[in-house]
Amino acid sequence: MNRVQLLRTVSERTGMAKKEVEQVYDSMVGLVADSVKKGEKVALTGFGNFTQRVKKARKAGMARNPFTGEMVKQAARPAMKLPKFVPAKTFKDYVSGAAKAMPGAKPAAKKSAAKKPAAKKSGAKKAAKKRR
């Protein structure tokens, strides 16, 4: 599911206009990104936690290739801050099949299959029999 499909589905489930759903989505993603950038933890109960992970700086030097055992040059790398997502237990249970539904989530509205009208028997066969 991509962004457009997600916005369309949320709009259909909630009855909100697509523009409103898009504004809420953009605001939420922006707030999560800004908070994680500041080093804050964002916890969405039942879904997961977004945090910032810091990778240490690496000095240039030699390192061993684990596959070949050969020594290779390793470039220096500055310290980096990366986002990290840890799914909540309820989300993991739902995805694995251990839970039937996400708590608090509404099931998708079932669309009733459009019934085709019964085909009318044409009088062509009867008319052909009468002509004979």
Q: Average pLDDT of each block of 10 consecutive residues along the chain (132 residues)?
A: 95 95 96 96 95 94 94 94 96 90 66 52 57 60
Question: Which amino acid type is present at position 34?
Answer: D
Nearest to 35 by CA among 22, 51, 55: 51
pLDDT on residue 124: 56
**pLDDT given for residue 120 in this prediction:** 54
Domain that holds residue 32: 3-101
Q: Is 88 exposed, middle or buried (0-12, 13-18, 19+ CB in 10 A)?
A: middle
- Tell me if 118 is assigned to some domain: no
**Residue 76 maps to a domain:** yes
* 78 in any annotated domain: yes
Residue 7 inside a domain? The answer is yes
| 27 in any annotated domain | yes
What distance in Å separates the CA atoms of residue 62 and residue 72, rounded to the nearest whole number? 6
pTM: 0.66
65-84 pLDDT, tens digit each: 999 999 999 999 999 999 99
φ, ψ of residue 90 in degrees (nearest 5): -65, -35
pLDDT at 103: 72
Tokens of 69: 């055992």
